[in-house]
Structure 1
């Protein structure tokens, strides 16, 4: 017999004992022989084994993993409870070796399974496949099936392995593929739209340029006018922007492999030149601090657009209480540049809007002409160049948009 005892210190001890009589020469009982042994270590090992089995069963339940075995000596198939649940059969169901293959969906899944099982039996080749089952209830289930063979004297005597229900993963993959297909179609539509827009803009820009040239020839003295000079520069910048847009549309400047070294001062100056009239109109003070020889890896039209969006936003959402001041500060970190664009405008309530700042069609100040596109495009462009962007803002104090770009080797 065996029993559990509690020691004086509170610990548990398991004892197994045996009681037998001993006999005299006349076969009468002379007494009892009592033997005992400490089996605590055996009980602890058994308890640990049961615990591990329980954890394994719970894990299998959560992961929907069941086991299976085919005894080829006795033509017997054994399924665990989870395997039976996957096949949607009763718990007392006894699978049959000859009909078990019928659970596999007819066609590719059944043919693949048959081929893999034959390879395992004949050549000992293990397999891991993803196939569709049709359960006893008629439901289609995606399963990951793993199988191995066991041999005796060169003959396969046993197959064993696991089933895992991967239906949810497959559904997720199908949803992702559907979304990817939709995104690809939308991207194709956007490319077509961009082709049309860039072509039409080029026509209008060409007309503007020709009109400026014609006026300059007929009235040479007008070329000395500051606003005409700015108009001429803006026209030239528009041509460059359209040309760059056409390059992007063709797909030659959208990949990270196409990043080139760009002196950061160049796109900033291009942006400022393009909105010089707006800066003058609103008496904007712009302070820039860019270390000499600042080169980043980027795409020139993207950088033009980023500076243009951030600076025009700062002017557009200015505070009526003070004159507009915009600071552009560039700092070299280890392998990247930090570019900060700070304004003293209306600011954004981040407690309410932080998660929506860079969303498409998100606006925060109630302006009727706001489209909510600029920051969305800016974030996309920065990330396309391998960078990232952050925002800090306080209502009625101002905002700071900080973005990071990789340093170019010079």
Structure 2
């Protein structure tokens, strides 16, 4: 019981009280306060003496009047907590207590009110409440629950989120045994059992265990579990941990993986080359077809490389420029016919497309390329074009041949008819003999014509010609030996510059005919003003072995006779032995072997023939 009489010599003592203290009378008026009270509540030195406590603090609970009245009757009771603003404008919390105020005669004349500053405690509690609320919100958003296990009492606690994940009612009381039982039998249950054992017996924490549970309603669900030991004075007293529902994320991840596998399977089995490049034109993805084209088994050998590491510089430079154009303009390249050259020199024809890859801001972050190998199609196209050309040439030959047959045989027929008429009407025996002689010559000419025509037919209808690898130098030596008398009588020279090991693919009989005809013509049409010189040389170029025969003879006016040069019975010089059949036959033989002939000539200087033997035969 506190007894403090209100006398002047006690005022000083009251002012020195360390806690905020106020004395009020039974009318609730403030009679005396401590300096600590004054410093907190009296603004600008204003005195609150003789003022009602409830007038000074209008927000005080009116229930407190009843509490104070009970105190005036000698029955003090707790008043509670009240928030005030001090003279500095700070928000403070005080716990108010009261006690009867006695005079010297033991009469209650009022109440003594003392305040305890609990601002820090209140703020800490508010902060804790905020954190708990935030934690609860985060728990609800992230679906992360908490659990605690008291080893001493063998008590397990689940928060409401953990219970919701297990789909158990709010009043459910878990224990460590049934908690483990909720994990799916097999890997998940074994893994959590081992983790709890290690934590409880060896103090080893665990985290990020991705496991499956069977909920109380029978649903399979993916969860993430974690836990660690808690200690008190160095002794393990329990475990605490988190429990997160990650079912949607795992299912989405599994679906994403399945979709990626499906997409990868599709891309890898497309009959086209597919690749993705970044903004630096580095390859970040390639399919199996692209791997095969680049000659690698593992895509990792190509990932991260640019075209400058995979193709010749000129090709890579063009590709990089096209990549930049596609990513800058955002305009795709679709179905462009291109020829790619590998570092080993191999060329491949493609129908290529490049499509920009755009982010959500519409900016290109790379491109996807699709290339269809059309090399075989191009080869077939070339073969078809060749067939068409051959058919066209053969058609022309056929028309020409029909014209020759019609013209020449008709000429022979008319000649025979005329001579026979002469013979029939002639009376002179000597003249008859002359006519018979002319009939014999006409018969020989007809036989020669028929032989020539038969040779042409044989060349163009023989589909079973056997092409062999033949040493060209040896054949030239044989041909010059066979023509040695003719060459010597013509005072000509044949110079053989063909390497001794040079070979061509040809029909042996055709090669003999070609060499004989071209050498004979070169000597036959020599210039009488100078010694005849025929030079033979050879080289390999692309798909052909090329025989070059050069002479210094009369030359041919190609502007005048170029189109008729290889025609049947076409002659270009007034030479008594010119029959116009040799070049025609050799041209047919060369064509039959898929070869070709080129000629350059200048009147008075000579002629050069290039015979191309196809090495792909």
Aligned to 1:255: 303
Judged with a 3 Å threshold, the aligned counterparts in structure 2 of structure 1 residues 154 and 251 are, in CA distance, closer, same or farther, namely closer
Judged with a 3 Å threshold, the aligned counterparts in structure 2 of structure 1 residues 175 and 71 are, in CA distance, closer, same or farther, namely same
Structure 2 length-normalised TM? 0.35
Judged with a 3 Å threshold, the aligned counterparts in structure 2 of structure 1 residues 360 and 41 are, in CA distance, closer, same or farther, namely farther
Q: CA deviation at 1:143?
A: 0.9
Aligned to 2:253: 173
Aligned to 2:170: 91
Q: CA deviation at 1:21?
A: 2.1
Kindly provide the CA deviation profile for residues 254-286 of structure 1, in whole angstroms up to 9, marking residues without a partner as x.
32157645899712xxxxxxxxxxxxxxxxxxx
Judged with a 3 Å threshold, the aligned counterparts in structure 2 of structure 1 residues 131 and 243 are, in CA distance, closer, same or farther, namely closer
CA contact (8 A) 1:122 1:156 kept: no
- 1:61 correspondence with 2:140: yes
SS of residue matched to 2:217: coil
Q: CA deviation at 1:136?
A: 0.5
Q: CA deviation at 1:186?
A: 2.1
Aligned to 1:143: 223
- 1:374 correspondence with 2:327: no
Give the whole-Å Cα distance in 2 for the aligned partners of 1:130 and 1:31. Answer: 69
Aligned to 1:399: none
| Pairing partner for 1:119 from 190, 198, 201 | 198
Q: Greater Rg, structure 1 or structure 2? A: 2
Aligned to 1:207: none
- 1:75 correspondence with 2:154: yes
CA RMSD of aligned residues (A): 4.2
Judged with a 3 Å threshold, the aligned counterparts in structure 2 of structure 1 residues 83 and 50 are, in CA distance, closer, same or farther, namely same
Q: CA deviation at 1:145?
A: 0.7
Mean CA deviation greater in 3-12 or 158-167? 3-12
Mean CA deviation greater in 24-33 or 147-156? 24-33
Kindly provide the CA deviation profile for residues 150-192 of structure 1, in whole angstroms up to 9, marking residues without a partner as x.
34577642111110111122112201211222133223313xx
Aligned to 1:183: 263
> 5 Å matches for 1:6-405?
12-22=91-101, 29=108, 31-128=110-207, 129-151=209-231, 156-190=236-270, 193-194=271-272, 246-247=293-294, 250=297, 254-257=302-305, 260=308, 266-267=314-315, 300=316, 339-340=324-325, 374-376=353-355, 388=366
Structure 1 length-normalised TM? 0.51
Give the whole-Å Cα distance in 1 for the aligned partners of 2:326 and 2:161. Answer: 59
Give the whole-Å Cα distance in 2 for the aligned partners of 1:340 and 1:243. Answer: 23
Give the paired residue count: 251
CA contact (8 A) 1:70 1:76 kept: yes
Q: CA deviation at 1:86?
A: 0.6
Q: CA deviation at 1:88?
A: 0.6
Q: Which runs of 5+ in 2 are unaligned?
A: 1-79, 274-288, 336-350, 359-364, 368-617
CA contact (8 A) 1:194 1:249 kept: no
CA contact (8 A) 1:248 1:254 kept: no
Aligned to 2:81: 2
Judged with a 3 Å threshold, the aligned counterparts in structure 2 of structure 1 residues 16 and 339 are, in CA distance, closer, same or farther, namely same
Q: Which runs of 5+ in 1 are unaligned?
A: 196-241, 268-299, 311-337, 349-353, 362-371, 381-386, 390-410
Judged with a 3 Å threshold, the aligned counterparts in structure 2 of structure 1 residues 103 and 341 are, in CA distance, closer, same or farther, namely closer
CA contact (8 A) 2:326 2:354 kept: no
Higher relative contact order (CA 8 A, sep 6+): 1
